[in-house]
Amino acid sequence: MAFLTAFVLTSCSQKDSLEKVKLAEVTRSIFYAPQYVALEKGFFEDEGLDVELTTTWGGDKTMTTLLADGADIALVGSETSIYVDAQGASDPVINFAQLTKTDGTFLVSREEIDDFDWEMLKDSTFLGQRKGGMPQMVGEFVLKKHEIDPHADLELIQNIDFGNIANAFASGTGDFVQLFEPTASVFEEEGKGHIVASFGEESGQVPYTTFMAKQSYINENPETVEKFVRAMDKAQAWVEKATPEEIAKIVTPYFEDADVDTLAIVVERYRSQGSFATDMKLTREGWENLQAIMEEAGELPEKVDYEKLVNTSIVDEVSK
């Protein structure tokens, strides 16, 4: 009993000595596997950080949480920092490290299709993502690439709350839907839908989800942010070398509705299309591609210089 009590007190003391960081993620997805690896393998704790993760379900809600100091760091699409800048924010939101470099959604059909062609979406009902968010903008970008006008050639539904899109499709809404993993694969296993295409493969590289914080937080906590990036850099390197099965076992606690075999398939799917940003530096080319997609969707308030909302110095320092 004395030994057990001493062990518990020591563990609590060690936990209390860590610096607390509140992290808000835009959704829960295998797309963010390196983040969950960093948490589960103790990479943040190795850097002296106690990271508390919250899922805020949607870019608008995630950014609201960050701006209201409900989070210190947010994992969300880079487009949200541009929207905040357009509102004349006195404390801009800065992108300091990139987690993913492709779109993470897949096109899911209600019916099984052997030889899928994008033309099949014409005259269909397409359950898209929230207007102004990266999933929706990339979705429209890909449709236009295949000469499909998303607002004329099909019935586009985009007024459903981000967290309820999957449930809406499962309840019978839409012929096609745009979903993140592992939801897309779980639906396929349950016979609720069939994955027919990858928006990530179709759209190319873009800073899809990045870690960002208010400029004031970065100025006041430079060492904390660097420790955070260093932990994530270790996680990205581990994910790059580990087998899909090893990664799946590590992240299983975050996905109670998916089995390890399904998670392994999803991990390999994302890794094979180059979704995980092994180099966490957000490039100028990626930033320009992001704004081109936003402009194509009619959602770019005004062009923003790369240097204004992107800070690469932290990733550069860690990379040394």
Residue-level pLDDT at 257:
85
The bridge status of strand 209-214 relative to strand 125-127 is: unpaired
Residue-level pLDDT at 130:
84
Q: What torsion do the CA atoms of 50, 308, 297, 65 make, to the nearest 10 degrees?
A: 30
Residue-level pLDDT at 205:
86
Average pLDDT over all residues of the chain: 93
- The CATH number assigned to the domain with range 19-102+206-319 reads 3.40.190.10
Three state DSSP letters for the chain: CHHHHHHHHHHHHHHHCCEEEEEEECCCCHHHHHHHHHHHCCHHHHCCEEEEEEECCCHHHHHHHHHCCCCCEEEECCHHHHHHHHCCCCCCEEEEEEEECCCCEEEEECCCCCCCCHHHHCCCEEECCCCCCHHHHHHHHHHHHCCCCCCCCCEEECCCCHHHHHHHHHCCCCCEEEEECCHHHHHHHCCCCEEEEEHHHHHCCCCCEEEEEEHHHHHHCHHHHHHHHHHHHHHHHHHHHCCHHHHHHHHHHHCCCCCHHHHHHHHHHHHHCCCECCCCCCCHHHHHHHHHHHHHCCCCCCCCCHHHHECCHHHHHHHC
CATH 3.40.190.10-classified regions of the chain: 19-102+206-319, 105-203
CB 20 within 8 A of CB 52: yes
Residue-level pLDDT at 14:
62
CB 247 within 8 A of CB 267: yes
- pLDDT, one tens digit per residue, over 254-263 is 998 889 999 9
- The CATH number assigned to the domain with range 105-203 reads 3.40.190.10
Residue 277: strand pairing partners: none
Task: Give the predicted TM-score (pTM) of the model.
Answer: 0.87
Residue-level pLDDT at 161:
87
Q: What torsion do the CA atoms of 243, 249, 253, 256 make, to the nearest 10 degrees?
A: 100
**Residue ranges of the chain whose pLDDT lies below 50:** 11
